[in-house]
Amino acid sequence: MPINLDELKNATSLRGKREDGSFIAPVDGTAHVSGERSVPLLNLTIPALFADTVGKYGTLDAAVFVEQDKRFTWEELSDTVDALAAGFLVLGLEKGDRVGIWSPNRWEWLVTQFATARIGLILVNINPAYRLVELEYALNRVACRALVTAAKFKSSDYLGMIETLAPEIAQAAPGKLEANRLPALKIVIRMDEESSPGMFNFADVLAMAGRDEHDRLDRISDGLKPDDAINIQFTSGTTGAPKGATLTHNNIVNNGNFVTAAIRLTVDDLLCIPVPLYHCFGMSMGTMGCVTKGATMVFPSEGFDAGATLKAVATERCTALYGVPTMFVGLLDHPEFASFDLTSLRTGIMAGSPCPIEVMKKVVSLMHMAEVTIAYGMTETSPVSFQS
């Protein structure tokens, strides 16, 4: 629908006419124009929505990390998120600081996502497959002040790569890094129980805050706005170097809400998430989508494994499943596919690349996902633009 310039209200309030003569106008003076919708926009920050979900469903299951044998209720997840957020305050991190996360699908990733949002830190998603040059580029491009990292994943020695880029860390006190090649990076937090020179341990950061830092959390969260930047995700870089797409609370909250509304997700559902958390599919559509509905997140393994995914769906009785087409092909072609009871499945999302019709038919008939949907989007739109 074209904008009627004769009806220009002000620089941020363009109004368009419907066929019946009524106007489409921005809500509360914000600079956007949209038509009628069946699902209203949520004008909430991530911590506000998260707190609402915790208040409603506190004792219900929030997340299951099968490979790590780790489970959280919503209240337990909230307590852990607050502990990490308060720990970040002890380390001197402030609203607007960029915090990188370099890890496969682990519980620490989920906690870091909501802990950074709790106090307005901007989470920077770093692809677990990045090598030295890509890691250096990402950390410097957005001036990451802190990095939360796994020790390793598959053949990638994350700690070794960090030490190669910043050899100064071997002599640095934790939180006091001064690296020539990574000038903005001061704080490195590593996962697992071992300790490394110049790095904080994740568990230690969880335990380092006192009452003063915990008392500051609500005040900081209350001062955040839905249009604040809260996340940077790098594009795939198919036409050049990866570009950092900056997303707001509004972007992530509403995309998660819309996509899960389309698959009719509710508090009674369990969503299996084998897609990576560093990507919008896992983070916005997956974790944030579950927060909007109070649904349980189920992570089968650190990286995609067809057998682990099938086992998680069958054992946890998942009702929804996310995946790119090649993941669904891998599930259908698994040699023990027929031995898994997938009758609990109802719906899900297939996205990321063209979805062959034959694969769709098998997903519906053999995996019982009669309500599966197809989604299309891009990182910059956080990510889904179309879903059917």
My answer on whether 253 and 191 are in the same domain is: no
**Spatial separation of the C-alpha atoms in residues 290 and 257, rounded to whole Å:** 8
My answer on whether 294 and 182 are in the same domain is: no
Contact 249/119 with Cβ under 8 angstroms? no
My answer on whether 199 and 129 are in the same domain is: yes
Total number of domains constituting the chain: 2
My answer on whether 215 and 254 are in the same domain is: no
The pLDDT of residue 92 is: 99
The pLDDT of residue 195 is: 94
The pLDDT of residue 171 is: 98
CATH for 171: 3.40.50.980
Assigned domain for 301 exists? yes
**Which residue type occupies 333?**
D
My answer on whether 188 and 317 are in the same domain is: no
Give the domain range for residue 355. 249-387
DSSP-derived 3-state class of residue 123: strand
CA angle 136–141–146, rounded 5-degree value: 70
Mean pLDDT, 10 residues at a time, the chain of 388 residues: 42 48 56 68 97 99 99 99 99 99 99 99 98 97 99 98 99 98 99 97 98 98 98 84 93 97 98 98 98 99 99 99 98 99 99 94 98 94 92
Which residues 6+ apart lie within 8 Å of 297 measured at CB?
Answer: 62, 63, 64, 110, 271, 273, 286, 287, 290
Closest to 351 (Cα-Cα) out of 373, 367, 371: 373
61-65 and 122-126 strand pairing: unpaired
Buried b (16+ CB within 10 A) or exposed e, 53-86: bbeebeebbbbbbbbeeebbbbebbbebbbbbbb
The pLDDT of residue 22 is: 56
My answer on whether 220 and 354 are in the same domain is: no
The pLDDT of residue 4 is: 43
My answer on whether 85 and 219 are in the same domain is: yes
**Spatial separation of the C-alpha atoms in residues 300 and 329, rounded to whole Å:** 17
229-234 and 244-248 strand pairing: antiparallel
**Which residue type occupies 92?**
G
Write out the two tokens for 23: 């106007």
Q: Mark which of 224, 240, 267 sits at the end of a domain.
A: 224
My answer on whether 214 and 105 are in the same domain is: yes
Assigned domain for 111 exists? yes
My answer on whether 51 and 190 are in the same domain is: yes
Q: In the sheet that 122-126 helps form, which strands lie side by side, from edge to edge?
A: 200-201, 187-190, 146-149, 98-102, 122-126, 229-234, 244-248
CA distances from 212 to 95, 168, 189, 191 (A): 17, 32, 22, 25
Secondary structure letter of residue 22 according to DSSP: P
Assigned domain for 2 exists? no
- Give DSSP secondary structure letters for 69-109: TEEEEHHHHHHHHHHHHHHHHHTT--TT-EEEEE-SS-HHH
